Structure 1
Amino acid sequence: MAGTDTGAGRVLAAGVQESNGLTARWLRALDEAPSVLSGAGAWPLLAVLSAGAAGAAREELAAATGVDPDRALDVVGAYAALLESSACTRFSTGLWSSPRITVRPEWSGRLPEAWFGRLTGDLDADKAALDAWAAERTLGLIPRMPIELTPETVLVLATALAVRTRWASPFEDAAYQPTGGAWRTDRPWLGLRRDTGDLGALRVVDGVTIVAVEGQDDVDVHLVLGEAASAPAEVLAAGIAAVGREGTGEYGPGVSVHAEPSFESDPAPVLRLNTVAFDVSADHDLLRHPGVFGLATALTRGAHFPGVSADPLEISDAAQAATATFSARGFEAAAVTVAGMRCTGMLMPQGAERRVVRVDVDRPFGYLAVHRPSGLVLVAGWVREPKRFQISR
């Protein structure tokens, strides 16, 4: 990462490393590898929460994010500036609070580029406002905020991350119909193929094959292929650990080398990439794995966030909605991560319930959208079924 010899650069580099570490731990904690998730969207939200937390909740959030809560808002500010400096990424934070509580300005005033709104108590109107914010901040890729508001909700904190880039070297698309393996089918998939002279885009690291598909801006997508028997989370974790590292050779899973005729007198070697298009989305309930995100204590009754408000607050919801599309021309992805809070001991109408969303998805190869200058993994996922090939009419 350029400029990491400065103090600010070292702080930012640590934030990138810790965010990537959270992505890897999240993947390992899931029963099945997801189609898409974004540790890069969840990490700054948790860091912001840590800055307002106290006691065991503060310690757990600090352990999950890897940053000192006293410095967390500064680190998140640098992190947001990094993403905003990119021509193809967008990062936003949003905060909505009820008039029933008072939010400390020394905490909220340091949120990077935050949108501030009010929760009016009209659940339908408030949800519509949150959904509109999610859609606008993700370039229309995610049309809703992944939270169900209840009469108990007094504060909502969210981050939105969007990526949109076109390939430096586009693919050709064509029907792809394997004769064996997991993708054998009577209906063809939408295959993508391209030849380039950039053999350096191929790396084999720790037994996984990684091909970097370069974007025109500063985001690349790493396609990560492991052995057939390898666990998806381990393949993706190996891909994350390999960001910025050199490969050990060109022979790995899915790689073969052969000669073919050429009409050139001195033909240059070619890297031929055959892959598939995909369009995936997923919802994640972060509270299914509270230990990964440092939220175990914050879920219990108590005044866990005195730095956010003098009113006793606890976490009621934490979720993420994410989407990613890989096509012949480029890549786009987005994630909205949200935490809801309720006030401990506040009298509320009876019968309020929290909606819990369970998502179970798995895919045969992994992908990582990586911010090239910093190595930050923006989104990660596992693709099981690619898009179907359709004949143009």
Structure 2
Amino acid sequence: MTPLRAPLARYAERLHRAAGDTHHVASPLGAWLLLALTGPAATGDARAALAEALGADPDDAAAEARALLAAPHPMVAAATALWERTPAAELAAWRATLPEATERGPLPEQAALDAWARERTGGLIDRFPVDVAPDTLLVLASALATRVSWADPFDTAPGTELGAGSAWSSRLRWVLRTPPFRHRCWLAATDRAGAVAVHAAPARTGDDGTGMLVVSVAAAREVPAADVLAAAQELAGAAALSPGNSLPGHLSLFDLPLGETPLWTLREEPVNTFAPGGREERATAVLPCWSASSRHDLTAPGFGFDAAARALGGLLGLTGPGFDAAQSAVARFGRYGFEAAAVTAFGMVAGLPPEGVARVAELRFGHPYAVVAVTTDPAGGPWHALPVYSAWVAEPEELPADEAG
């Protein structure tokens, strides 16, 4: 078991409890990773608060985050970025602890941040989750994105197959039915949610054998959403760690009464079987397509970003700096695959600087001009600063119509 699973499960429960039982999607991992990156800046009370929120020592959490971001999973595109209005020397030591691949630069306008969110999520998220204000000092952000196809696509079934007790059965004309192979369906016993129905859909694996398993868990209606989500976290982790046909927490169908419940219908039929004792178990599942788009406010103390603001503010000599923290997340589950993305952002603000005057120039290349392309190498190798191409531009062209606007 990865040491991150337990702290992440606690953080996930906190995040989902705040969202309640409304339709939503989140990436607890995206928020946890971003918070962990601030850990090395923390001392004193801020460090203790960060440790509580992260469920781990801040330096250990930062090391775990760096390791994950240095080698992202092939099915989870990952990016981080730090933008600063004016890089402060006091943050140099903390800045050096960020992952090597972290994008860095001056604080951009809101439109550029929105574009970053779109580009890093393959267009799944259209808007950056926090706004940049004139007093914003820095913004730290993470992006995670996934698009996978199922190893075996779902079949379809009439919506009525969800059962007469389902409010969705009369609203949906068609739903998904598990295909004959590779999907896992079972009933499981859980501590938090009681007996639950479980479906696990595997994504098509990559050439290196890596994959993704999307696990759906349904409990009795009266079980709180936070408890079902906690059970789902545990079952999903166990299913990913189990051999192909293993069913974590499996409840034998022969230990349950025949008949219909809101979660399953159980019948018995004669078969020819080599199953032990002549008792064979089979399970299929019907479930709907779904999509969700959510924005989560992460400024409450339990999420840890207040401590992150105190930690970074302390390095800058600021007492109680203002901050914003939020996550935008989307997901879509359908017949042929699954896609999801999350952008988490933390912005720290300070008082407005004194009034002054700025001169702003817009450079115009409106007559013939020169262009030179040179290679760069931070290691200073033989290619560094070497001109490779050069041009004199005397005949401009119209921007292609499909690129205008």
TM-score range, shorter chain: 0.7 to 0.9
2:297 aligned with 1:285:
yes
Q: Identify if the C-alpha distance between structure 1 residues 316 and 305 changes in structure 2 by more than 3 Å, giving closer, same or farther.
A: same
2:41 aligned with 1:63:
no
Q: Identify if the C-alpha distance between structure 1 residues 306 and 23 changes in structure 2 by more than 3 Å, giving closer, same or farther.
A: same
Q: 2:346 maps to which residue? A: 339
Alignment of 1:261-340 (within 5 A): 270-287=282-299, 290-296=300-306, 304-305=311-312, 309=316, 314-340=321-347
Alignment of 1:341-356 (within 5 A): 341-343=348-350, 345-347=351-353
Residues 183 and 199 in structure 2, CA contact (< 8 A), matched pair in contact too: no
Structure exhibiting the larger radius of gyration computed from Cα positions: 2
Residues 210 and 225 in structure 1, CA contact (< 8 A), matched pair in contact too: yes
Residues 52 and 107 in structure 1, CA contact (< 8 A), matched pair in contact too: yes
1:71 Cα deviation from its structure 2 partner: 3.2
2:196 aligned with 1:196:
no
Alignment of 1:212-223 (within 5 A): 212-217=200-205, 218-223=211-216
Q: 1:183 maps to which residue? A: 167
Aligned residue for 1:173, secondary structure, equals strand
1:325 Cα deviation from its structure 2 partner: 0.4
Structure 1 distance, partners of 2:318, 2:96, is 18
2:245 aligned with 1:256:
no
Structure 1 distance, partners of 2:184, 2:178, is 15
What is the aligned counterpart of 2:78 among 91, 98, 104?
91
Over aligned residue pairs, what C-alpha RMSD do you find? 3.0
Q: TM-score, normalised by structure 1?
A: 0.73
Aligned residue for 1:170, secondary structure, equals coil
Deviation readout 1:187-210 (Å, 9 max, x if unpaired): 434411123355854240312222
Q: 2:386 maps to which residue? A: none
Of 100-109 and 215-224, the range deviating more from structure 2:
100-109
Structure 1 distance, partners of 2:282, 2:354, is 66
Q: 2:369 maps to which residue? A: none
Residues 97 and 119 in structure 1, CA contact (< 8 A), matched pair in contact too: yes
Of 95-104 and 203-212, the range deviating more from structure 2:
95-104
Structure 2 distance, partners of 1:154, 1:101, is 10
Structure 2 distance, partners of 1:347, 1:341, is 14
Q: 1:389 maps to which residue? A: none
Of 130-139 and 305-314, the range deviating more from structure 2:
305-314
Deviation readout 1:195-235 (Å, 9 max, x if unpaired): 33558542403122222111113211110100121111111
Aligned residue for 1:223, secondary structure, equals strand
What is the aligned counterpart of 1:226 among 202, 219, 227?
219
Residues 304 and 313 in structure 1, CA contact (< 8 A), matched pair in contact too: no
1:248 Cα deviation from its structure 2 partner: 3.6
Aligned residue for 2:4, secondary structure, equals helix
Give the unaligned 5+ runs of structure 2: 206-210, 240-247, 257-261, 356-405
2:26 aligned with 1:37:
yes
Aligned residue for 2:238, secondary structure, equals coil
1:138 Cα deviation from its structure 2 partner: 0.9
2:102 aligned with 1:106:
no
Structure 2 distance, partners of 1:99, 1:247, is 54
Structure 2 distance, partners of 1:227, 1:187, is 20
1:25 Cα deviation from its structure 2 partner: 2.3
Residues 57 and 295 in structure 1, CA contact (< 8 A), matched pair in contact too: no
Structure 1 distance, partners of 2:354, 2:185, is 57
Structure 2 distance, partners of 1:147, 1:54, is 26
Name the aligned partner's letter for residue 293 of structure 1: F
Aligned length: 324
Of 151-160 and 178-187, the range deviating more from structure 2:
178-187
Structure 1 distance, partners of 2:269, 2:183, is 17
Q: Indicate the structure whose relative CO is greater, using CA pairs within 8 Å and at least 6 residues apart.
A: 1
Q: 1:142 maps to which residue? A: 125
Q: 1:162 maps to which residue? A: 145
Name the aligned partner's letter for residue 251 of structure 2: G
Aligned residue for 1:195, secondary structure, equals coil
Q: Identify if the C-alpha distance between structure 1 residues 191 and 146 changes in structure 2 by more than 3 Å, giving closer, same or farther.
A: same
